[in-house]
Structure 1
Amino acid sequence: MIPPVYEPLRYALSGLDFTQLPVCTQQYLQEAKLAPPHAPDVNVISAERLKISMALSSSLIKNDMALVELRLETVVMASDLETGIPSQDDLQRDALAAQECRLQKLLGNVLPERELIFNAFIIKFDALVWVDQQGREHYTPEDWQRHRDELLKPILDNTSQQLVALDTAVIDG
């Protein structure tokens, strides 16, 4: 299975004061007790990053299962069509209607839900990158974009591997 790709928007919090941050970002930082005037320790930021990364993985489990289930149903249907099981017109119409239903569920529910999960994660993740910036005025927005991308890549790669592993377990199971 090729996992759906999530492309986050560019990092946009460079150089902003706390009051200039989006309201949802401010709320998250306040809830996490990372809002100014606190000067959180690097370990606190790392621990929070781990916490939200684990929450992302947990949030994606149900979504991953739905993606794998839809793919498996499609594979079974394609196999049935290939072997000629639904040879009658009514059965072919039913198979096409079922495929249309799966496609609607995928595009109308499962993938949009996945994007919402990732977007909520990115709000928190970018907030933590913003906290990293405090006291480092000599970094450019490009430096912060690179920093964010380096931190984010292994997390996004892990979510893809998690989906592929589930798919493999279901297929091989």
Structure 2
Amino acid sequence: MIPPVYEPLPYALSGLNFTQLPVCAQQYLQQVKLAPPHAPDVNFISAERLNISTTLSSSLIKNDLDLVKLRLETVVMASDLEIGIPSQDDLQRHVLAAQECRLQKLLGDVLPERELIFNAFMIKFDALVWLDQQGHEHYTPEDWQRYRDALLKPILDHTSHQLVALDNAVIDG
């Protein structure tokens, strides 16, 4: 299975002060008690980054299951068609309706839900990257983009591997 790819928006919080951050980022930092004037503690930021990454993985489990289930249903249907289901008009309409239903669930529910899960994670993740900027004012927005991308890549890779592993477990299981 090729996992759905999540492409985050470019990092846009460079050079902003707290009140210029998106409201949801401000609320998140206040909730975890990292909003100014609290001095950000590097260890706490790292721990919080791990916490939101773990929450992301947990939040994706049901979504991953839905993706694998839809893919498996499609494979079973294709296998049935290869075997040679009689070409009765009613049966063909049923197969086409089932395909349409799966496609609607995928495009209308499962993938948009996945996007929402990632977007909520990115709000928090970028807010934590913003905290890392304190005391590093000489860094450019491009530096912060590279920094954020380097931190983010293993997390996004993990979510993809998690989906592929679940798919393989279902197929092999």
TM-score class, shorter: over 0.9
* 1:17 paired residue number: 17
Alignment of 1:12-161 (within 5 A): 12-161=12-161
Which residue type is aligned with residue 41 of structure 1? D
The 1:11/1:82 distance shift into structure 2, 3 A limit, reads same
SS of the residue corresponding to residue 106 of structure 2 reads helix
TM-score when scaled to structure 1? 0.99
**Deviation string, structure 1 residues 58-85 (Cα, Å, up to 9, x no partner):** 0000000000000000000011111112
State the 1:123 CA deviation: 0.1
* 1:168 paired residue number: 168
Could you tell me how far apart the structure 1 residues matched to 2:162 and 2:86 are?
35
**Deviation string, structure 1 residues 77-123 (Cα, Å, up to 9, x no partner):** 01111111243221111011101000000000000000000000000
Which residue type is aligned with residue 21 of structure 1? L
Could you tell me how far apart the structure 1 residues matched to 2:15 and 2:158 are?
30
- The answer as to whether partners of 1:11 and 1:145 remain within 8 angstroms in 2 is yes
State the 1:11 CA deviation: 0.2
Could you tell me how far apart the structure 2 residues matched to 1:66 and 1:99 are?
15
Which residue type is aligned with residue 78 of structure 2? A
Could you tell me how far apart the structure 1 residues matched to 2:5 and 2:57 are?
15
Q: 4+ runs of 1 displaced by more than 6 Å?
A: none
TM-score when scaled to structure 2? 0.99
The 1:78/1:136 distance shift into structure 2, 3 A limit, reads same
- Give aligned pairs, total: 173
Structure 1 residue runs without a partner (length 5+)? none
State the 1:135 CA deviation: 1.1
State the 1:35 CA deviation: 0.5
Which residue type is aligned with residue 36 of structure 2? P
